[in-house]
Amino acid sequence: MVQNNNKIPVCLLLLWLCMASLSGFGQARIIEYRGRRYAVYVADYPKDKIQLFWRNGQNEKLRSLGNLKQHVNAKGHELLMATNAGMYTPENVPCGLYIENGRQVKSITLATNGTGNFFMQPNGVFLLTKSDAKVVSSQEFSDYNRQAIYATQSGPMLVHKGVVNNNFTDGSANINIRSGVGVNGQGRVVFAISQELVNFYDFASLFKDDLKCDNALFLDGAISRMYLPQLHINDTGGNFGAMIGVVK
C-alpha cells in the first residue's frame, strides 16, 4: 500500500490526540503574556477536587504549603497544586468571609473604607458549590450563600463581568509578585501566579484576554507562593492564613 505523504499517519494522529488530552484541563503550564511569565493551573471542578484549608485535625493552623502537603498526605491523598487563599491578619486568620466544609468560620466584610488591596473595590469571593465554582463580587455573594461549601474573600476583583477593574492603570509602576483565581467560559477554575514582578493591569488582562476569565479575583501579592510539582515548583514555604489545594 502506498502512503500518501500529505496525510498524517493514523498512529501519529492518535499520539497527538493523546498528548493534547494530557495537556488539557487539570494541567499546569508556564505561559508568557506581555513579556512576563506566569505559572498557570486549570482545574475541572468538581471532577478535580478543590478544597480550602486553614487548620488541621488538631485545630492547629496549617500556615505553610509544606504543612498542608503533610496534612493531605496523612489522609492518603496527593496535593497537586496549592496556593494561599487570600489575605489574612498577623495572627494567620483569614480576612473577611471564610467557609470550609459548609461551615462559615468568618462572616463577609462589606466595608469599603479600609486601607490596602483587600478593600479596593469591588472586592470579591471565590466559592465552590457542589456542582460548580464561581468568582463573584462581595455584594453578589448573598445570592450564593446557601450553596457555598467553600468560600474565601479577597480583593480586589481583577476582572468583573468581563471588564478589567477600572482602578488599575496600564503601564503602572506598582509592580509585585501577584496571584489570583478566575473561572473561564467553560467553568474551569484557573489559578495563576506571576514568576516576575507585574502590575495589576497586566495581571488582570492576563485573566481577561489570555485565560478567558470574565471574573477573576486577586489573592495576594509579594508573599504569594504556589506548590505545583507538575512544573517542578516545589515551594513548601509561607506563613499564611487559609490555603487552596487541588487534591487527588
Contact 239, 63 (CB under 8 A): yes
200's grid cell: 495589576
Please give the model's pTM, rounded to 2 decimal places. Answer: 0.89
pLDDT in tens, 39-52: 999 999 999 999 99
User: For residue 6, what pLDDT is reported?
Assistant: 40
CB 103 within 8 A of CB 109: no
Burial 90-114 (b: 16+ CB within 10 A, else e): eeeebbbbbbbeeeebbebbeeeee
Whole-number Cα distances in Å, 97 to 2, 51, 92, 181: 66, 15, 14, 16
User: What is the chain's mean pLDDT, rounded?
Assistant: 91
Tens digit of each residue's pLDDT (9 = 90 or more) over 83-103: 999 999 999 999 999 999 999
- Chain-centroid distance of CA 39 in Å reads 11
pLDDT tens digits along 173-198? 999 999 999 999 999 999 999 999 99
Q: Is 222's pLDDT higher than 60?
A: yes
pLDDT above 50 (res 8): no
For the record, the C-alpha cell of 192 comes out as 495563576
- Is pLDDT larger for residue 26 or for residue 110? 110
Alpha carbon separation from 92 to 29, 86, 112, 136 (Å, rounded): 30, 11, 22, 24
Q: For the segment 101-156, what is each residue's pLDDT rounded down to a tens digit?
A: 999 999 999 999 888 999 999 999 999 999 999 999 999 999 999 999 999 999 99
Confidence of residue 248 (pLDDT cuts 50, 70, 90): very high
Q: What is the mean pLDDT of residues 33-40?
A: 97
